[in-house]
Structure 1
């Protein structure tokens, strides 16, 4: 029996100067990137993503990650079998709707610009924000620890692993307390507390933008980050995408949903390979790779063909 493919779309954190290079080996993807880089509004953001540490700023990171992932999808799509589903992590959920054909690729990138702008506006006049990855905490200790430092669960990534968002002034103290309790903690290069109530102000304006956007039918379902349920229509997409800005992402359940939907092979579009590693660790029976692990488009196709046959 032929395998079933899932496409994974990454969030922020792994962007790098060469993240568009592999996609540019395809003429169609290269032309698409040329158009985006030449765009007077979008181009400066994309150029900044490959020219310095500004690539980690929210307003640059979000459109750049969506652009890199959708360019890669453009390069790979013509010779891939139809995926069983697509799942996106944080901003990657917007990418996922571009992959599924519900949004035009250019529209998805421009929506990422607006999403970042609305999220950054939540910082104006308030305290700086941060995100911290926690894992290995003793049972029953996480909720109290987050409440102690004013943090919220933002993305649940495993049985004992999550990403939390809250005030930047208390991020290091939270990390130190987690280490002292016997867990592990990493401060992430993200300056907004995505998927927490601190971003509630961005939800309604982004919903308005999505309501005015042209949507098409989906070629295959997208997993909703806030429910891990397959989304088949634009109406639910327009409801869930704004909510996930200020509500926790159930990524652990999204990974489990891949198994429930019969997925046997997963390909992460990059940049980075965090999603492929997480899924491989949680469900070793699924063959997982990221495009960032290959040096050529032919190498990606060859690996997929072996796994899917």
Structure 2
């Protein structure tokens, strides 16, 4: 019984996202940290929206703000996970650290990753419809790395811009579907090793707590204590996000539904393709918070 929450990462942010979200204190703190007055207006600027330092703080604040506005009407989730930077929101929701710390860490994480990207500018490319072996060969030819595994034929590749351009052409020619993500760093690849080390040092200075609810990491398994949480949160910056395996772990919790919080509905689509008997929807699809609560409440009673 119950439901799971998965927090989206960056790459699908848009000005009309989460249309029901109120401008509460948490969202105001996010705006203050970024030094902006209107986050929706800022997202209309494609260059601003794709800038790592903006997107990571923005999405962490909006994801946590959205859950803060939904949580008074819902029980604690039966499982939590986050996709890429979405893990900051999932860890905060699980009680590993508070929302203000999550916002601070989002800025620290982005700055560390940007310093790595200054050496070799890069990004991410979503590739679907091609088998793992073909994607591996494509990476060898273009010097890219698999940043995220979303399924048997769904991957995100990361690396230098020239390699991404080449891989996009090759994948299309092979019959694959490709989408360049709104991300200007090669997240979850070895090019971020220094950023992962720097972020690990920042985490080591914080009084982290054990998760209060079942928390799953895309770079590990279920996290049960603060030390595991710190290692997993830093490690995922420079290693492949195993989202497919993370979904399997959540499914094993026998939840009645999955709610995605964040921009777009990419995680919901991946879930519904993999587990069509357990419905998933994105909070970005709804027009009101009450409609989300009603849907979750009905579906969570189903169980599996």
TM-score bin, normalised by smaller chain:
over 0.9
Q: 1:46 to 1:208 in 2, by over 3 A?
A: farther
| Structure 1 residue aligned with 2:10 | 12
| Structure 1 residue aligned with 2:239 | 247
Cα distance in 1 between the residues matched to 2:170 and 2:13: 29
| Structure 2 residue aligned with 1:200 | 193
Q: CA deviation at 1:187?
A: 1.8
Cα distance in 2 between the residues matched to 1:161 and 1:110: 32
Uncovered stretches (5+) of structure 2, i.e. residues with no partner: none
Cα distance in 2 between the residues matched to 1:160 and 1:36: 36
Q: 2:229 aligns with which of 213, 219, 237?
A: 237
| Structure 2 residue aligned with 1:100 | 94
Uncovered stretches (5+) of structure 1, i.e. residues with no partner: none
TM-score by length of 1: 0.91
Cα deviation per residue 1:190-210 (whole Å; 9 max; x = unaligned)?
111100001111011101111
Q: 1:184 aligns with which of 171, 177, 183?
A: 177
Equivalent residues in 2 for 1:18-37 (5 A)? 18-19=16-17, 21-24=19-22, 30-37=24-31
Q: CA deviation at 1:51?
A: 5.3
Q: 1:271 to 1:140 in 2, by over 3 A?
A: closer
| Structure 2 residue aligned with 1:81 | 75
The RMSD of aligned alpha carbons is: 1.8
Q: 1:14 to 1:252 in 2, by over 3 A?
A: same
Cα distance in 2 between the residues matched to 1:57 and 1:308: 37
| Structure 2 residue aligned with 1:59 | 53
| Structure 2 residue aligned with 1:268 | 260
Q: CA deviation at 1:217?
A: 3.6
- For the Cα contact (< 8 Å) 2:14–2:44, is it kept in 1? no
TM-score by length of 2: 0.93
